[in-house]
Structures are given as C-alpha cells and as structure tokens.
Amino acid sequence: MTDTTPGPRARRDQYRWPALGFIAPGVLLVAVLLYLPLLWTVLLGFTEYDGLGDPEWIGLENYAEMFDDPEFLGSVLNTLLWVGGTLLVPVGIGLGVALLTWNLKGGTWLRLPFLIPYALSGIGVGVIWSFILSGDGALDQALAAFGVHDTPRWLVDAPLNTVVMILATAWQGVGVNALLFTIGLQSIPKEPLEAARMDGASGPRLFGSILWPMLRPLTAVVVGLSIVASLKTFDIVQGMTKGGPGRDSETLALTMYKETFVNSEYGLGSAIAVFLTVVTLLASVLYLRQQLSSKHGV
Amino acid sequence: MSRAIRTAVLAVLGLVWLLPVYLLLVNAAKSPAAFTTTESWRPTDFSLLANIGEALELSGLAESAGSTLLYAVVSPALAVLVGAAAGFAIVALRLRHGFAWFVAIFGGTVFPLQMILLPLFDAYSRTGLFDTRAGMVIVYTAISIPFSAFVMRNFFSGIAHNVFEAAVIDGASTWRIFARVYLPMASSALVAIFILQATFIWNDFLLGLVLSQSDTVRPIVTSLAGMQSTYGGAQMSTVLAGGLLVSLPTVVLFLFTQKFFARGLALGQY
C-alpha cells in the first residue's frame, strides 16, 4: 500500500515464482494429507464399503440408517451433554478462579494447582480417574470414611458415567480457562474500573456492569474453543469406559471410530464423520454469528 | 469479598484439585506387593523408580518413548518452517491471492480428525506408510502446519515491508532474506508454535491408534492406553507409574511456558 517504487503489479510478478515456491510445501502437505482424505470421506459416506472390493454407491442410505438407530441418537445426546457440561463446569469454574485470583497477592501461586493437570493427555487423565472411581476405589473409600457406603457405580451407571467423565475433564480444563480469563482481566483498562468503584460498585454489580461486558470478546473465544473441543470428545471416553457399558457412554467421535475400525462399516463410519463435521461447523458459524450480531445489539 | 476469604476459598479448592495428583503419586510409588485396591489414601513404601522401570518394560513404553520424542521434535520443527515459509510468501513476497492461499491452508484445521482417519489408514496401508515412523512424522507435520501458518502470517504482518526492501537492495536472495532476516526475527513466535505443537503431538492418542501398531512406532499415549486396558489389579501401581512417566514431560514443559500457551491458545482458537 505504502510503497511507491515500480508499482505493485510489477513487484508482485517479480516474486511470483519464489512466492509459489515458498508456499508450495505447506499447500501440498495440507492438500494431500488433509483435504484429499476429507473429500474421500465425504464420498465414502454415500457408499456401502467394508474395505474389500469396491465401494457401492447407496446415496443417502447411511444417513437414513443413522437416524433410525437409537444407539446413534444416544450418542448424539451424550455429545450434547458433553457440550453443555464442559461449558457449565470448566468454563464456569475457570472464570470463578480467574475472578478470585484477580489482583490478589500470591494469585499466580494459588492458580498453579489448577494448571498442573492441563497439559495431561486425555488418556493420562483417564488413567488417574479410572483408578479413583473404580469400585471401592479412592473415592468410595473417602465416602465410606464419612459413612456413605451405598455409592453408585461411577463408571457403569449411565448417564452418571458421562457426568463423571465431564467432571474429570473439568479437573483438567479449569486451569487453562482461568489463565485465559486472567489475561482478559489484566487487559481491562483501569479508568472505568476506578470510576465504577468510586460510584460504589463492587462484587456482583461490578462484575455485571463492567467486567462481564469487557470480558465478552475473550469469553467468545473460550466458549467457542470449549464447544468445538467437546464435540470432538474421544480420548477420555475411550480411556475410561470405551463408550460402555454396551454403548451407553459413546460420543459421536467414538461411534464413528467403532463403526469404522471395529465393525468395518466404512460407509456408515464416514457418514457419521460427515455428520459430526457438519455439526461442528454449524456450531462455530451460528456461534460466531450470534456473537457478532449481539455486539451490534449492545 | 475480602482478600482473606478469597485466598481461603482458592486454597481449599486448590487442595481439592491436587488430591488426584496426590493419589497418583502415592499409588504409583507402591510396590506390587504393598499395593491394595482398598487402601488408596495411605502411602506405604517408595518403589516409584522400580515401578517406572517395570512400566517401561510392559507394553513397550520404552520403545514408544523414543519414537514419540522423535515425532514431538521433528514434526513441529518441520511444521514451523513450512508454516513460516507460507507466511513469508504471503506477507513479504506478496503472493497474488495470498489471502485465498492462507484460507486454504488454515481451513485444514476446522474439521474434526474423524474426517480424515479412514482414508489415511487406507492410503497408509496401500503405500507402506502404515506403522512406520516416517508415516507418523508426515501426518503430525501436516496436522501442525495450518496453525503454524496462521501464527506466522500474523507475526510477519507486523514487520514493516521496508525490512524486505532494504534486504533486496543489499542484494540478498529471497531464500537468504527468509532464512537470515525473517526467521531470526520470528524466533519467539517459532518457539511458541513449536512448544504448543510438541505438546499436542506428545499427547496424541487417536492418530497413533489408527496409523500404527508395533511397539517401536506406536506413540507413547497410545501405548499407555493399551497398557491400561491390559493390566490391572496388582499391577495397577505399574500402570499409574506409566501414566506419571508419560505425563511428566508435557506437564513440566507447560508449567514453565504458560504464557506461550495462553497466547497461542487465544490466537489459534484451538
């Protein structure tokens, strides 16, 4: 925009080939390893295929079959439970921790316990919590010490097992949400805060009138991240219940995996992957749009 | 709320948060003989190192560890360079339709991994890449590129274009400008991407589950999952020691580089 010499068109053409050379490795790798498989999955979703012979075109039958299958619908419900639960618990507690540590001496240290689990793998979290929640395990022993002996089977009774796994995920996720909200709080300009305090605002009032509106853009990011991540929930469920007992705690990502790699229903598995992708994209778009339009409304 | 109450609430909640870590440490340290499933809260003995040694033997965790280290170092390094090159082409060399190219690369992250698993498995089986270290490095690199290109494009956009023009006047080639001028300026961003992606790759379970099989190729988290579903009972302390061993590198890395993480997360919408 600002350069005056030879003129943008001539300058661009001068570097055309080097520029294409620099971008080529990225484009090629992404095209071959991400986009080609993606297209292939979309096509397979319209076929009956078990890996042997050729895929047979059956149109929308896989999709019809999916929505007739109560197990699949159960998986959809579980996935929705994950989306709602991970918004409520890890994002909510994360905001709480950020607010409590805000401007607090030693806040960095008080936040540390919440951050320790964050970089664990989903399987690592599963190993720890499966141990704690097993029958007569650490949790049952602790409850027994308080006289509670008749405990549920945490990882067996549905939908309790999904709720419990959401809490295990919350244990992991609170820290990073607290960290993100803390960064957001620190970037709030001092003047309006001081002014509000002078006017006597504090506690919930200060939060509602000043902090929350100012945290909105960041909250948008955190909530968006949480929705997208929870739709894809796989590792922790596979690690803790394998979707069981039966198929009671399956999420969509797990159902796709099982149909494809356990039952060799390649076509149906692909259709589920497509469905999951469409839902993820829709959620992102709807969410972004709502976020953008409400900005105008305020 | 007064400061004292806030501190107290946080301290209590923090202690609750540390309980699972305590249970992990105490029980991972119990020798198989001392371990019982009904006395989880009381420490008995300290056999952590023996248990870790045992865990390395079981389920091929030791072999997995070496391979995973390779994946978690080589793939992010490659992805950072490829992403930086793409950002350089778009911003410094002002590639025509640069934004469209950028969207094309970045679009690679918006869909769930489930969308590519089966075709990758199929193609890997046909081309001999299935269950090879090269195959794993390639897929981890490709997965890491969109985010890397995203951050690097943003970063290079903050560098005045005069820098590029001055280097051209000095007679430097585009390659030299990239390697000697732009990359060194971007070192902090490169490190941030590298750390985020290395953690992501170390913690990967799904790609390892689908694209590998043998102990030598299988990533460590996938091996841990195999170990967890195979061994239990008296060997539970070994499984927990394995979990501790697998988790330690990323937890330590994260605690020392928190700010990079938060910044990268907010930027990359991960």
Average pLDDT over residues B65-78: 96
pLDDT given for residue A293 in this prediction: 63
Percent of chain A residues past pLDDT 70, beyond the cut: 92
Q: How many CB pairs under 8 A join A and B?
A: 291
- Mean per-residue pLDDT over chain A, rounded: 88
Report the half-sphere exposure of B150 (CA within 13 A, side-chain side). 22
Report CB contact under 8 Å: A132, B138. Answer: no
Task: Tell me if B137 sits within 8 A of B146, measured CB to CB.
Answer: no
- Looking at this predicted complex, what is its ipTM? 0.90
Nearest CA to B146 out of B214, B83, B70 is that of B83
A54 touches chain B (CB under 8 A): no
- Same-domain status, B30 and B76: no
Tell me, what CATH number does B173's domain have?
A: 1.10.3720.10
- Same-domain status, B158 and B230: yes
Number of folded domains in chain B? 2
pLDDT given for residue A8 in this prediction: 54
Among A239-243, A282-286, B186-190, B220-224, the range scoring the smallest mean pLDDT is A282-286
Mutate to test the interface with A, among B10, B150, B156 (most CBs of A within 10 A): B10
* Chain B hits for A174, Cβ within 8 Å: 17
- Same-domain status, B99 and B172: yes
pLDDT digits (tens, 9 = 90+) for A159-204: 899 999 999 999 999 988 998 888 888 888 888 888 888 887 777 8
Cα gap B142→B120, rounded to integer Å: 12
- Same-domain status, B28 and B136: no
Q: Would you say residue A28 has pLDDT above 70?
A: yes
- Same-domain status, B226 and B196: yes
Q: What range does the domain containing B182 cover?
A: 53-268
Task: Tell me if B152 sits within 8 A of B84, measured CB to CB.
Answer: yes
Residue B259 Cα, gap to closest chain A Cα (Å): 9
pLDDT given for residue A4 in this prediction: 47
B-proximal residues of A, 81-140, CB under 8 Å: 97, 100-101, 104-106, 110-124, 126-132, 134, 136-138
Q: Which fold would CATH assign to domain A70-297?
A: MetI-like fold (1.10.3720)
Which amino acid, B213?
Q
Burial class (CB in 10 A: 0-12, 13-18, 19+), A9: exposed
- Same-domain status, B113 and B14: no
- Same-domain status, B59 and B38: no
- Same-domain status, B214 and B82: yes
Between helix A107-115 and helix A160-186 the angle, nearest 10°, is 150
- Same-domain status, B117 and B239: yes
Q: Residue B65: which H helix or E strand, with range?
A: helix B61-91
- Same-domain status, B61 and B83: yes
Report CB contact under 8 Å: B255, A176. Answer: no
pTM of the shown model? 0.90
pLDDT digits (tens, 9 = 90+) for B37-50: 778 898 888 888 99
